[in-house]
Amino acid sequence: MKLSLLKTKTLSLGIAAGAIALCSMGAQAQTMDNNMSGTGSMGMSSSTMMAPMAVTGTVLRYYVDRAGFVTAMDVQTAEGVRMVRFAPSMAQSLTAMYPVGSTASVYVTSSMMGNMTRYDLAGMGAEMPSPTSMMMPMMVSDIDILKAEPYTTIGAKPTRYEGRLSGYIADPMNGEVLAIVLDDNTVIRVPRENRLVQASTAPDGITPLMKGASVVAYGLPEAPRYGSVSPFLTRVIGTGIAVDGRALGPLGFGRVKMTKNSSLLGFNLFGGANVTPEESAAMGMGYRTYQTPGTMAPNGMDGTMAPGGMNSTMTTPGM
């Protein structure tokens, strides 16, 4: 009996130690990925973050990240343009309270991101947030969101989607295609089973990504994200994708060759002659300018807000 109890305690300690080791490895991987993606937490700690400071000025524009959510805005202050970042769930509140052209009054925390200062939303309004009400910086990168297990609504059924390929979203680290975009602003996540092999070992261009190619896909509608704003009208958890009649295999699309700004979306969708220096810098970090609902972006993509986004019951696919 004593021997059995000792074995049980030893097993429990071994499991706990393994969990701690896994947590440590996960935290390290998270920090490394965020450092490289440009939209994560940059491994910030409370000791490196400064006290909240006021930012007041005209809202110049909002930005969409690589996951397709509005998560940043440019504010013209007396000291210059400040990019303020925030969680996807804050987008509806911010765009409603501070539309483009209005005067925003927010509090931010600042920290170093490479050789530049990063500003993260800490509170809205002219009153400094208390330590207990202060918002924390977004700790998950847009690429992490695309790689994470998505959620669908309870009772959702597989649906067929058709359209023309207009873009793709790739991991800037290894060129792995995580999602494709159709011409009707539908974004379809590439199924996990079509990304089983490390993209770094896959050959380039297994399935060509030609603009205008015919796409037929099956999948479940992705659950709306609370409080979010997105130019994508429909988000799909892909279960099968065929491009020009060719179904994806276990290697998916293979790798795509990455250039300076190609991690945004393929085919240089977000270029243009009238890009400001701030927008150009944001493109290098994985952002593009968000167009207000009903307006047409210079690249021809309609910046319509995605429907829903409030109080949806969610479940993981297959559950």
pLDDT single digits (tens) 178-198:
999 999 999 999 998 887 665
Q: Do 131 and 179 belong to one domain?
A: no
In a domain, 18, yes or no: no
Task: Compute CA 66 distance to the chain's CA centroid, rounded to the nearest angstrom.
Answer: 5
Do residues 310 and 226 make contact, with C-beta atoms less than 8 angstroms apart? yes
Do residues 39 and 71 make contact, with C-beta atoms less than 8 angstroms apart? yes
From 203-217, 226-240, 302-316, the region with the lowest mean pLDDT: 302-316
Alpha-carbon gap, residue 318 to 226, rounded angstroms: 22
Alpha-carbon gap, residue 204 to 267, rounded angstroms: 16
Of the three residues 124, 141, 158, the one that is the final residue of a domain is 141
What are 111-153's pLDDT values in tens digits?
Answer: 766 666 789 999 998 888 888 888 888 878 899 999 999 999 9
Of the three residues 93, 114, 141, the one that is the final residue of a domain is 141
In a domain, 34, yes or no: no
Q: Do 64 and 187 belong to one domain?
A: no
Q: What is the pTM of this model?
A: 0.73
Of the three residues 141, 172, 198, the one that is the final residue of a domain is 141
For 302, the domain range is 144-274+296-315
In a domain, 21, yes or no: no
In a domain, 25, yes or no: no
b/e sequence 243-255, b meaning 16+ C-beta within 10 Å: beeeebeebbbbb
Alpha-carbon gap, residue 77 to 296, rounded angstroms: 27
Between 77 and 202, residue with greater pLDDT: 77
In a domain, 174, yes or no: yes
Q: Do 159 and 302 belong to one domain?
A: yes
Q: Do 129 and 167 belong to one domain?
A: no
Q: Which residues, in sequence order, are bridge partners of residue 168? A: 180
Residue 73 belongs to a domain with what CATH number? 2.40.50.140
In a domain, 59, yes or no: yes
Q: Do 97 and 242 belong to one domain?
A: no
Residue 190 — φ and ψ, nearest 5°? -70, 130
Q: Do 162 and 269 belong to one domain?
A: yes
Closest listed residue to residue 147, CA positions, set 185, 186, 192, 182: 192
Q: For the chain, what is the largest distance between any 2 Cα atoms, rounded to a whole number of angstroms?
A: 78
Total domains, the chain: 2
In a domain, 169, yes or no: yes
In a domain, 58, yes or no: yes
> Residue 180: what pLDDT?
94
Pairing of strands 288-290, 53-64: antiparallel
What are 12-38's pLDDT values in tens digits?
Answer: 434 334 333 333 333 333 323 333 333
- In 222-262, which ranges are E strands? 234-243, 246-247
Q: Do 150 and 123 belong to one domain?
A: no
Alpha-carbon gap, residue 181 to 67, rounded angstroms: 11
Residue 88 — φ and ψ, nearest 5°? -55, -35
- CB-side neighbour CA atoms (13 Å) of 133: 8
Q: Is the pLDDT of residue 293 over 60?
A: no
**Across residues 64-85, what is the average pLDDT?**
94
Q: Do 95 and 150 belong to one domain?
A: no
Element counts in the chain: helices (H) and strands (E): 4, 14
Q: Do 204 and 121 belong to one domain?
A: no
Q: Do 182 and 306 belong to one domain?
A: yes
58: pLDDT confidence band, cut at 50, 70 and 90?
very high
Q: Do 93 and 222 belong to one domain?
A: no
Q: Do 78 and 160 belong to one domain?
A: no
Do residues 101 and 59 make contact, with C-beta atoms less than 8 angstroms apart? yes
R_g over Cα of the chain: 21
Mean pLDDT of the chain: 74
